[in-house]
Amino acid sequence: MLILGLLCCNISLADITVSDYLKFREGKNKKVNEFIDNNILGIGTGIFWSNINIGLKLGKANKEKPIYCAPEKLTITKENYINFLDAEIKEHKKMRVLSGDTPIAIMILFHLERIFPCK
Query: What is the model's pLDDT at position 72?
Result: 87
In tens, the pLDDT along 56-82 reads 877 777 778 899 999 989 999 999 999
Q: How many domains is the chain built from?
A: 1
pLDDT band at residue 3 using 50, 70 and 90 as cut-offs: very low
* Residue ranges making up the domain that contains 70: 2-115
Asked if 13 contacts 104 with a C-beta cutoff of 8 angstroms, the reply is no
Classify the phi-psi angles of 15: left when phi > 0, otherwise alpha if psi is within -120 to 50, otherwise beta. beta
Residue 69 burial (10 A CB sphere; 0-12, 13-18, 19+): middle
Average pLDDT, the chain: 86
Give the pLDDT band of residue 14 (cuts 50, 70, 90).
Answer: low
Q: Specify the pTM.
A: 0.82
| Nearest to 78, CA basis, from 29, 15, 36 | 36
Nearest to 103 by CA among 8, 19, 10: 19
pLDDT digits (tens, 9 = 90+) for 35-60: 999 999 999 999 999 998 888 877 77
Which residue, among 114, 110, 70, 61, has the nearest Cα to 53 in the 3D structure? 61
